[in-house]
């Protein structure tokens, strides 16, 4: 008992020193902890837990993650309650998952990486669902004109980019590698202009052999969803450039837009730094002229664009 009391006092002292930590008393009185005790806490007997309720996830996302002024602290509380591993992922199904459910998983994964906590074993408990989940993430990053789902806000776009970056930086994990490699394989060159494609294939004859083999295998019958994946990164860059170039030289700009641009540039830097991803992605990146357009954009000349400018110089 003395040891527990001593530990409790220590946690509370830390909480007073660091605003991003939570104390024992705050945990026990918090609404999140109360919901956890009712729905997913491992400390509650299984037979005493209430049935799964999707509305709980939507409500928590809207109140505690999306609109809360201290979202970081609230996400920490959810992480401490094992929200991802005990409630979000076990109940995720692509057919029924809401936008809030998807973004809640993304937020919790990003938090685990921020805290340097192992995350992928959680998804390996239900690996058959991960491909559909990953596709769900991609579709939320680039919703089509016929998309019936809710479009992501700028803060959500940033969270999605951070999540994708974690995935590509976890290529040693089979679960991630199997999904990510489809976006950065030789087949992504189908989005290049014909002359540029011919130029690249001429320089490396071995790749031409693989390209012909790929064309012969498909015989022009490429599923729409496969073609969409091959164009995903190019279209993601185009979306980023449209946001970047909409920033004026003067006047106010939303901090969330600046944060998105900074995070996106980090994502591009990491894709270029990884050998498994840069081999074919580098050509697509060059074809979009992102370098030139980033160098002359208004953001690098603004006071609030200094960090973005540093990232641009680091990359190139």
Render pLDDT for 65-90 as a digit per residue (tens, 0 to 9): 987 677 888 999 999 999 999 999 99
Q: What is the dihedral of CA 306, 275, 135, 78, to 10 degrees?
A: -60
The encoded tokens of residue 148 equal 């019936």
The encoded tokens of residue 47 equal 């037979």
pLDDT digits (tens, 9 = 90+) for 204-218: 889 999 998 888 887
Enter the pTM of the model.
Answer: 0.87
Quote the pLDDT of residue 111.
Answer: 96
Count of beta carbons in the 10 Å neighbourhood of residue 2: 6
pLDDT at 15 over 50: no
Indicate the domain borders of the chain: 2-180, 186-315
Cα angle: 182, vertex 185, 189; to 5 degrees: 115
220 pLDDT tier (thresholds 50, 70, 90) = low
| 3-state SS string for 41-52 | CCCCCHHHCCCC
């Amino acid at each position: 008992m003395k040891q527990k009391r001593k530990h409790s006092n220590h946690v509370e002292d830390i909480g007073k020193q660091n605003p991003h930590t939570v104390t024992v008393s705050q945990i026990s009185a918090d609404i999140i902890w109360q919901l956890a005790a009712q729905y997913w806490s491992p400390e509650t007997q299984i037979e005493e837990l209430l049935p799964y309720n999707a509305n709980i996830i939507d409500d928590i996302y809207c109140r505690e993650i999306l609109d809360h002024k201290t979202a970081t602290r609230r996400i920490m509380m959810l992480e401490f309650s094992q929200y991802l591993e005990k409630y979000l992922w076990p109940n995720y199904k692509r057919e029924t998952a809401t936008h809030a459910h998807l973004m809640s998983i993304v937020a919790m994964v990003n938090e685990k990486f921020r805290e340097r906590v192992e995350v992928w074993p959680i998804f390996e408990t239900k690996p058959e669902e991960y491909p559909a989940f990953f596709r769900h993430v991609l579709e939320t990053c680039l919703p089509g004109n016929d998309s019936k789902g809710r479009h992501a806000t700028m803060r959500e776009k940033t969270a999605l980019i951070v999540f994708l970056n974690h995935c590509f930086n976890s290529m040693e994990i089979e679960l991630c590698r199997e999904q990510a490699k489809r976006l950065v394989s030789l087949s992504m060159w189908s989005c290049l202009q014909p002359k540029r494609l011919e130029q690249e294939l001429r320089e490396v004859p071995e790749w031409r052999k693989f390209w012909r083999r790929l064309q012969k295998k498909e015989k022009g019958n490429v599923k729409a969803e496969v073609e969409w994946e091959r164009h995903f990164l190019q279209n993601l860059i185009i979306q980023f450039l449209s946001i970047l170039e909409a920033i004026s030289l003067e006047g106010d700009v939303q901090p969330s837009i600046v944060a998105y641009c900074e995070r996106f540039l980090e994502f591009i830097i990491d894709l270029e730094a990884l050998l498994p991803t840069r081999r074919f992605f580098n050509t697509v990146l060059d074809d979009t002229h992102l370098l030139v357009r980033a160098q002359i954009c208004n953001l690098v000349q603004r006071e609030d664009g200094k960090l973005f400018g540093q990232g641009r110089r680091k990359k190139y």
